[in-house]
Structure formats: C-alpha cells, structure tokens
Structure 1
Amino acid sequence: MTASMTAFARVETSHEWGSLVWEIRSVNHRYLEPHFRLPETMREIESRLREMLRRNLNRGKVECSLRVMPLDNGQSLSLNTTVLTDLNTALEQIKQHVDRVAKTSPMDILRWPGVLKQDETDIKEIQLNALQAFEQALDQIRETRAREGAELKQFILQRIDSVEEEAGKVRQQMPALLQAQRDKIIQRLEDARVETDPNRLEQELVFLAQKADVDEELDRLTTHVTEVRRVLNSDSGAIGRRLDFLMQELNREANTLSSKAIDAGTTQSAVNLKVFIEQMREQVQNIE
C-alpha cells in the first residue's frame, strides 16, 4: 500500500481524573525516528509507546507529544519527601563549592521531576488511558498517511504513463532517424566525390548505427516502468526506498538516451523524460 510519511493527528480524551491530549506530527525521513515528549509520570510506558509506533509505522520522523491535565481536587498530588531530601542535600553541596548561588524558590523545586507524586492507582489509570488514546492517534496517522499516499500514487502513475508514452515515441521514430543518418552520410560522401571502399563504408555505417541505437535503453526504461507500477500496486508496507532506487535507474537511462540523441526530437524527448522522472522523484521522497 502506498502511504505518505507526512501526517498530523490530535486526540483529546476526558476522564474522571482529568483529561489528556496526544499530538503526533510525522514528516519524511529515511528511517523511523520517533521522539517523545512525555510528563515524568508517563516515562514508565515510553517503551510500550515506542513498540506501538514501530508496529504501525515503518519510516518517518515522528514527534509525539502528551499533555496530562488532572482535575484540581486537592487530593491527587503530594510531596515525594525522599526526592525532596536528596534535592536539598545536593543544593547544600553545591553551595559549599560555589560562592554565588542564586536563591532557589519553592516553585523551582516543585518543577523538579519526581518532587510531586500522585496516588499510585491514579497513575496506573492515567497511563492506561494514555496508551488507549495513543492507539487512537496512531489510527488517525495511518488514515491520513493512506489518503495522501493514494493521491501520491495517482500522481506517479500519471507521470509513469507519460514516461512510457515518450519512450514509445522515440522507439517509433528510431528506424527513420537511423535511415536518415545513413542517407546523410552517403550523400555527403557523394557530394565530396570521395572514393570509398563499399565494404569499409558499410562497416562504418553499421558502427555509427550501433552507437546511435537506443533500443537497449528503451527496453530498460520499459522494464523500470513496469516495476514502478508493480511496486505501487503491491501490498508491502514500505515501498519508498524501492521507488527511489527505480527513479535513479530511470534517470540513468534518460541520461544515456540524451547522450545518444542524433536529432532535436530525440533530445527533446530525453529532456521530457528527465522532467517527468524528477517530478516523480520529488514525490517519492514523501512515500513511506
């Protein structure tokens, strides 16, 4: 399936303890590169979140942000005296080694990870709700990627049809072009009244025809076009890298075709091929 790597999802859920919001942003990247911004109380489930992400996505730079907003009922938070004591000891040690230490306010201390703690039951419930909401956000991401991927697929199929059409035009014109090249050389020799060995002349004409012949390049172009269509219609998850490789191969054949061009029409066809291939290549960069 063709899926884009660019997507955004937002899921907000409400519960008896409060509410939470997941936001996921995904952009193109060579590999899967997840980044999580989580409250300290949610770090325990980060490994499970990463595993869920890997099961659903293959490539892309993915930024996942979670905001947890508990209800202010005056009972959910308490001080972690162990962490508070350790923090105070560390501050005293710093004062012994540093002459000037800025005064630490209570709010600064409360912001330190682990100083405020919640009831264990509340934390487990919030973590479970966060996992469930993350699954919903991943569903949104997959749906968005699939919709955009379908549009990218149609764009590439249109361009690959144009590549095939342009290659067919060159193939159809080549016999006449080769014959015209042969006739032009013979006419020039006759105009110059140059004595030539017929066998040697025929060998040279065959050699020139072989140099200008692009059947092999056109055959490879056709093969790559068929492979692009096959990959786009396959059920495999990540196809972006395969398509990127095929774009390189298509461009290689277009360059060779351009170097062998023997008239303005063939040169223009080679230029058109490069334009179509570059347009596809830019879009392939966004495919998973």
Structure 2
Amino acid sequence: MIHSMTGFGKATARFETRTITVTIKSLNSKQADLSARIASSYRDAELELRTLITDRLQRGKIELSITMEDDALEGNAKPINREALLGYVHQLTAISRELGETAPIDLVALLRLPGVMDSEGTTSTEISKAEWDALRSATLEAVDALQAFREQEGRMLYEVCATRIRKIAYLLEQIAYPESERITAIRQRLEEGLAKIAPAGGYDSARLEQEMIFYIEKLDINEEKSRLAHHLSYFLEILDQPNVGQGKTLGFIAQEIGREINTMGSKSNHAAMQQLVVQMKDELEQIKEQVLNIL
C-alpha cells in the first residue's frame, strides 16, 4: 500500500510539572529535509530526534516543533534571565557615564535582546533519562500519528492513480478501431495523389505495393502499444506492493508511459487516434502530479 508524503502528527507528554508538545508536519520532497524548532531545554537531544524521525519517515519536507510549558512558573510565563538583563543594564549605565549623558533605560526594549527571555540562564539544559524517555515517547507518538495520516492519504492516491491508469488502458484499446481505418485511408490517399500526377502510361503497381509496405512500417505502432500495455500493468503491480516507498519507481514508470504515448502520437497520422492520444496525455499528467506526493 502506498503512502503519501503529506502528513500531520501531534502528541503531548507530561513529566513532573512540565507539559511537552511535539508537532510534526510533512510535505512532498525528493529527500528527507527536516527543519526543527525545539525548546532550549531539549536542544541537546536534537541530533537523536532528527535520526529518530528521518529513519521512520524516509522522505519529505519535515517540520518539527517541540515546546515545553512548566506549571511551576506562574501563569506558564517564560522566565526572564535576570543575570542577562542586569548585565545589559550595567553596561548601558557604564556607557552613559563615559559619554556624560543620562538617558532612561527602556526595560521593554531590553527584553528583546538575546538571552534575556531565554530560560537557559535560569534552568539547567541537561535533562534526566526519565524526561528524555517522555520526550522520545511523545515524538514517536507524533510520528505514528503522521504515519497514519500518510496511510489514509495514500489510499486516496491509490484510487486516483489506479483509476487513471485503467482509463489509459481503455483508451489504448480504443485505438485499434481508428488504426484499422488508417491504413486504408493512407493507401487511398496515395493512390489518388498518384493518379493525378502519373503519366499517361500509369504507374508500376508492384513498386507502389513495395513503397506502401515501407511507409506503413514507419507508421506502425504495434510495438509502442505492446510496451505501453506492459508499463501500465507494471504500474498497477507496483501500486499493489505491500511495502512502502514506491514513489520514485512509479515516477520512472510514468516517464516511460509518457514516452510511448508521445511516440504513438507522432506516428498516428489520424485525427481520431490523435484525439485518443491527447486524452491519454491528459490522464498521464494527472498521474504525474499525484506521483510527486507518493512516498
């Protein structure tokens, strides 16, 4: 069963007075591209979390967000780093004395300076094994939720791709009808053209038959039809594989399907056949758009 690369997962965990929230989003991408916004208390665990997530999600543009709220802080307000704030105040006071000027200190502006609203100065950055286990458990739960979302989206992608592949197969069968008329129409057109320009003695009918054979061989699409039918069958076979990660393979098969359809279009030389080829191309474009989102 195929999985989509689009997904969303969220999980929370409690550790003592802290609430840990893990949110993971993913979109389609050619490879695993993870960007993370992690609470400062857990930054030391970022490398392990990245490995944990990418090993399970394989591909996609992944956004990881980890936040922490501590009930021990009044109103869950973010703590002010007093040492950093006082450091800025002392420096500004010293500079004012050197310049011989006195200016009011804007505490609100100082809160925006780096490190002032960072809790690293007031709490330890090291986390215990129990807290790491809680963080890891929440991350895995969020990954599982995202995987379930991907699986659900994958079922929808499966139906869309399978339906359009079957539509191309149906159109391929319809080509047989105008194709049988095409040879007769080509022969008749050539004979009418020769009759208009032929000398009074006529033309060599045996030579005409020989040239007709050469000409018709160039327009023959039986090989293209056979290869296209094989590619369509192989596409459905890959869709039905139980493992996950068929996206790139399906993309390659879609390219081969497009190559055979284009060749048939260039050889068709018949309005009804060209209309069927255009419909095939339209179905294939829809498939290619969906394949880009398959894991």
Structure 1 length normalisation: TM-score? 0.85
Which of 197, 200, 207 aligns to 2:207? It is 200
- Give the gaps of 5 or more residues in structure 2: none
The alignment status of 1:189 with 2:191, answered yes or no, reads no
SS at structure 2 position matched to 1:110: coil
Which of 232, 246, 250 aligns to 1:243? It is 250
Q: Give the AA of the match of 1:11.
A: A
Q: How many residues align?
A: 282
Equivalent residue for 2:131?
126
1:97-246 alignment, distance < 5 Å = 105=107, 107=111, 109-112=115-118, 114-118=120-124, 123-190=128-195, 194=199, 195-246=202-253
Q: Percent identity?
A: 26
SS at structure 1 position matched to 2:2: coil
Q: Within 2, Cα distance between the matches of 1:79 and 1:279?
A: 54
SS at structure 2 position matched to 1:141: helix
Q: Is the 8 A contact 2:81 2:116 kept in 1?
A: no
Q: Deviations over 1:66-91 (max 9, x none)?
A: 110111268xx99999xx58x959x9
SS at structure 1 position matched to 2:257: helix
Q: Deviations over 1:89-145 (max 9, x none)?
A: 9x96xx88xx99996857454324631214956x54333211100100000011110
1:1-150 alignment, distance < 5 Å = 1-72=1-72, 88=87, 105=107, 107=111, 109-112=115-118, 114-118=120-124, 123-150=128-155
Q: 1:119 to 1:245 in 2, by over 3 A?
A: closer
Q: Within 2, Cα distance between the matches of 1:141 and 1:180?
A: 58
Which of 241, 249, 256 aligns to 2:263? It is 256
Q: Deviations over 1:206-260 (max 9, x none)?
A: 1220121111211121121112112111234321111112222211221111111
Q: Within 2, Cα distance between the matches of 1:104 and 1:61?
A: 41
SS at structure 2 position matched to 1:114: helix
- Give the gaps of 5 or more residues in structure 1: none
Q: Is the 8 A contact 1:178 1:212 kept in 2?
A: no
Q: Within 2, Cα distance between the matches of 1:187 and 1:73?
A: 95
Q: Give the AA of the match of 2:134.
A: N
Q: 1:38 to 1:103 in 2, by over 3 A?
A: farther
Q: Is the 8 A contact 2:42 2:125 kept in 1?
A: no
User: How far off its partner does 1:54 sit?
Assistant: 2.0
SS at structure 1 position matched to 2:265: helix
User: How far off its partner does 1:32 sit?
Assistant: 0.7
Structure 2 length normalisation: TM-score? 0.83
Instruction: Out of 225-234 and 187-196, give the one that drifted further.
Output: 187-196
User: How far off its partner does 1:200 sit?
Assistant: 2.0
Q: Once superposed, what is the RMSD of the aligned Cα atoms?
A: 3.3
Q: Is the 8 A contact 2:80 2:119 kept in 1?
A: no
Q: 1:79 to 1:120 in 2, by over 3 A?
A: farther
Q: Give the AA of the match of 1:139.
A: D
Q: Within 1, Cα distance between the matches of 2:205 and 2:61?
A: 67
Q: Within 1, Cα distance between the matches of 2:239 and 2:157?
A: 10
Runs of 4 or more, structure 1, over 6 Å off, are 77-81, 99-102
Q: Within 2, Cα distance between the matches of 1:259 and 1:102?
A: 80
User: How far off its partner does 1:27 sit?
Assistant: 0.6
SS at structure 1 position matched to 2:277: helix
User: How far off its partner does 1:176 sit?
Assistant: 3.4
Q: Within 2, Cα distance between the matches of 1:22 and 1:203?
A: 75
